[in-house]
Amino acid sequence: LYNKNMKKIRKIDVVQQNPRDQKLRVAAYCRVSTKFEGQKSSIELQKEYYTKLIGENPNWENAGVFVDYGSRCRIKGRPAFCEMIHKAMKGEIDYIITKSISRFSGNTVDMLKTIRSLEEKGVTVCFEKENLISTDDKTEMVITLYTALAQNEIQNMSENIKWGYTQKIFLRVND
C-alpha cells in the first residue's frame, strides 16, 4: 500500500481475539427458603456442587456462587441475587446456572424482566431441573408457565400457613 506521497506503507491487520478462546465466566445462584439447620446443609451441598461443576469445566471461569436465604417472591429482598444480576449487567458474568426456575424467582413479572435484561447483555441462564436455557426460542413461554405455577404454589402455602395459625388461635381461645 502507498500513501499520498507515494511512500510505502505496511498494513497491519488487526487480530481480533476469538471469543471462544476466552473462558466463559459462570456464576451459580443458590437459595433456600429458611435459615433452619436442615436447610443450611442443603445450601452447603448446593454451593459445593456448583463450585465443583464450574471448576471441572476447562472452558469455564468461576464468577461466583451467590447464596440467599428466604423469600421466593420478590427480588428486592435477595441481596446475593441482586449482586449477581448487577455483576452480570456490568459484563462480569456470561452464564448463570441455577437449580430451578422456582429458585431463581417466584414472581412471573420479575422473572421475565430479569431474563430479558440479562439476554440484552448477552447473559444466558440455565435452569437445571427443567433443563432449560434462557436463550432458547420457546423458553420464555415455558418459564412463564413454570413461574406462574411456582407463584401459585407460594400463595397456596401462605394461605395454608395462615389458616393453620388461625385454627391454632381458635382452638386455644375455645379451650
Eight-state DSSP code of residue 87: H
Asked whether the beta carbons of 41 and 69 are under 8 A apart, the reply is no
pTM above 0.85, yes or no: no
- C-alpha to C-alpha distance for 155 and 152, rounded to whole angstroms: 5
| Mean pLDDT confidence for 138-162 | 69
- C-alpha to C-alpha distance for 61 and 54, rounded to whole angstroms: 7
Asked whether the beta carbons of 58 and 94 are under 8 A apart, the reply is no
Place of cell 427480588: 75
Eight-state DSSP code of residue 23: P
Q: Is the pLDDT of residue 70 over 80?
A: no
For the stretch 5-40, pLDDT in tens is 666 555 555 444 445 568 999 999 998 876 555 556
Q: How many H-runs (helices) and E-runs (strands) does the chain carry?
A: 5, 5
Written as nine digits, the cell of 30 is: 443458590
Eight-state DSSP code of residue 90: T
**Comparison of pLDDT for 26 and 42, the residue scoring more:** 26
Enumerate the β-bridge partners of residue 124. 95
- C-alpha to C-alpha distance for 65 and 155, rounded to whole angstroms: 28
- C-alpha to C-alpha distance for 81 and 15, rounded to whole angstroms: 37
pLDDT of residue 37: 52
- The pLDDT > 90 percentage for the chain reads 36
Which element (helix H / strand E) includes 94?
A: none
Among 155, 140, 139, 133, smallest CA distance to 72 is for: 155
